[in-house]
Amino acid sequence: MSWEIWKKGFANYLKLERSLSDHSIAAYLADVDKLVAYFGHIQQPTAPEQADAGMLSGFAAWLHSLGIGELTQARIISGVRAFYKYLLIEDAIDSNPAAAMETPRARRKLPGVLSVHEIQRMIAIIDLSKPYGQRNRAIIETLYGCGLRVSELLQLKISDLYAAEEYLRITGKGNKQRLVPIGREALRHIGLYLEGSRMQLAADRAYSDHLFLNRHGKSLSRVAIFNLVKELSRAAGIGKQVSPHTFRHSFATHLVEGGADLRAVQDMLGHESITTTEIYTHLSREYLRETLLSFHPRAGHEGVS
């Protein structure tokens, strides 16, 4: 059959069997279109089921020759693999020629991390005498103290706070819930906020259970959190690029540096796979390396092998 017929079937498979969004389906089909373009370039084969492993290896090499980034190459190859897996399910092919396709190993960019001292500087710069000072202090303490995503922070409700047990109930990606321990310092500042400025902010009953509110008594926006963090980092004289997510990375890195079990960190972050959490072991090693180079009397000098 032709490419278009198989692509239509593939789209239906992704939608009905894998429940993917229209956006994700379009991305998979665009990956297949890249393969169609390559086969048009080399003038073979005429149908997807006629491709062999050698042709698909040539496709991978072609992507590299176009100067496409390694992460994009990996994504396209993943899409092509999914397409041929579908053909195998449909008995259009006897074996999967895409199974042997090599994915380029992209160097994963390590996220930026704040030191404990830098976080303390940002916290110290918050003026608690100002109307939203206590709220802002509670936000930063919660971001760093629990390693939350911005979306998770914004969804927090008062009913998600279990102060006596020292836990937060977090709603993460895919509406999956998890319990995350919260430190006493963060709890203390949330309590001060609840007893103080939040009582004046909670004018709209529809948002009465949301924890962090804006000056109109409604739930804060992502932009407001980003602006708060940017303003605090600038005021604290921190030259790094700092975002709310930096606190999440710092939370995990400082735990790993302190000897925390990686599985426990995975659970607290809400990662599906331990592989995602393992990046913080790399950050920890990099921190140790920088410490060695900075402070060891013989590190980085001539004569050191």
- Give, in degrees to the nearest 5, the angle at Cα 144 between 159 and 223: 80
Tokens of 231: 């303003």
**What's the rounded Cα separation, in Å, for the pair 54 and 43?**
15
Contacts 24+ apart (CB under 8 A), 184-193: 185/141, 185/145, 186/138, 186/141, 186/142, 186/145, 186/146, 187/163, 189/134, 189/137, 189/138, 189/141, 190/138, 190/141, 190/142, 190/161, 190/163, 191/163, 192/134, 192/138, 193/134, 193/135, 193/137, 193/138
Which residues on adjacent β-strands are paired with residue 169?
179
- Residues catalogued as catalytic: 149, 173, 245, 248, 271, 280
